[in-house]
Amino acid sequence: MKKYMDKLKRNIHINKNLFVFLLVIVIVGIVAGSIFSTIIDSNDKKMVLDYLSNFFDNAKDDKLNYDTSIINTLVFTVGFALIMWVLGISIIGFFVVIFMLFMKAFILGFSISSIIASFGFKGIILALVYAFPHHIINILIFILLTAYALIISYKLIKCITSKKPLDLKCIMHRYMIVLGVSLILLIITSLYEVYIVPKLLGFITGVLK
């Protein structure tokens, strides 16, 4: 087992400076999303409140359509990861994947801030359950995917501009491993988000009236 874990660590290795840069992008995205949720007009805030209230009420009464939810969640999450992965093997993907990571963090920040703003103290607890641990894990996965997408895209650009040979087979092998691990984890977090989180949120909503 240790042999396979060591092999996985060797294949999934990213530059620390790049990781820090992407982490900063995520933090900026979360902060931007949080700020945006406070400056939208009153009508938009009411729409968000109505949506959240309806979701939490349905979660409490166990009226959510789990089949539709799991399909939508998998399509959005896994689809997002696949698009990011494909962009990594293209030249234009260099900047697009950074923007995609930023938007993922922006949406998370907006969601958390909206929940807290709408429900006060109860919203803090609801936001924690909403975000932890699945959304945090997802963000880390997307940081990993973004890092590798940037590395691959950069190597392709360098190969074209400098006209130096590129060991594409070795690069794609490692890139496929990263994709495979990422998809497995994303499927697990999606199942947790759809089948576990609503029950926890419903329980908290019922207790903290």
Cα gap 91→96, rounded to integer Å: 10
Tell the burial category of 36 from Cβ atoms under 10 Å away from its Cβ (0-12, 13-18, 19+): middle
Which pLDDT belongs to residue 11?
Answer: 46
Mean pLDDT of 157-166: 73
Q: Is the pLDDT of residue 2 over 60?
A: no
Rounded percentage of the chain residues whose pLDDT exceeds 90: 46
Which pLDDT belongs to residue 162?
Answer: 73
Mean pLDDT of 97-107: 95
Structure tokens at 39: 């400056």
Q: Is the pLDDT of residue 47 over 70?
A: yes
> Could you tell me the pTM of the whole model?
0.87
Which pLDDT belongs to residue 184?
Answer: 96
Mean pLDDT of 137-145: 94
Phi, psi of 193 (to 5 degrees): -65, -40
Mean pLDDT of 64-90: 91
The answer to whether 74 and 187 have CB atoms below 8 angstroms apart is yes
Cα gap 132→140, rounded to integer Å: 12
What residue spans of 40-167 are helical by DSSP H? 42-60, 66-88, 93-131, 134-162
In sequence order, the 6+-apart residues with CB closer than 8 A to the CB of 137 are: 185, 189
pLDDT tens profile 115-126: 998 888 888 999
Extents of the domains making up the chain: 15-39+88-209
Mean pLDDT of 80-90: 89
Distances (CA, A) of 113 to 99, 109, 182, 202, 203: 21, 6, 27, 19, 21
**In degrees, to the nearest 5, what angle opens at C-alpha 127 toward C-alphas 116 and 200?**
130
The band of 10, judged by pLDDT with boundaries at 50, 70 and 90, is: low
